[in-house]
Amino acid sequence: DAGITQSPRHKVTETGTPVTLRCHQTENHRYMYWYRQDPGHGLRLIHYSYGVKDTDKGEVSDGYSVSRSKTEDFLLTLESATSSQTSVYFCAISELGAGPQETQYFGPGTRLLVL
């Protein structure tokens, strides 16, 4: 199994509060991704990183920011949580990035409930 951990695994918060989710990898992979999983939508990309301090937006980036100050850590921040951000959040890593040899390895997920 790829060495990916996410913390916290479960969180309940209130609307308007800031929330930070952490993804930690031990594989030294260059690419890291944050997805959200919602019924009927599969997984949708929020943000991704292709190196330390190098990040870019995905399909559903509004309301989210990310930071990557070390290869092994990728943080997802909800500056002011809303109920529409209630979801399961998955981190993924990839050595090669998107392309024919792309294989992404996923963390166990964080279940976030915004009341």
Residues contributing to the site for other proteins (CB under 8 A): 4, 40-45, 48, 58, 90, 92, 97-109
Residue of 69, 68, 73, 66 whose CA lies nearest to 26: 73
Residue 28 or 103 having the CB closest to other proteins: 103
Instruction: Please say whether the beta carbons of 31 and 91 come within 8 A.
Output: no
At its nearest, how many Å lie between other proteins and the CB of residue 106? 3
At its nearest, how many Å lie between other proteins and the CB of residue 40? 6
At its nearest, how many Å lie between other proteins and the CB of residue 36? 11
Residue 75 or 88 having the CB closest to other proteins: 88
At its nearest, how many Å lie between other proteins and the CB of residue 16? 29
Residue of 115, 114, 109 whose CA lies nearest to 37: 109
- Total residues belonging to the chain: 115
Residue 20 or 44 having the CB closest to other proteins: 44
Per the structure block, which two tokens stand in for 18?
A: 């800031």
Residue 16 or 41 having the CB closest to other proteins: 41
Per the structure block, which two tokens stand in for 17?
A: 């509060």
Sign of CA pseudo-dihedral 50, 52, 56, 59: positive
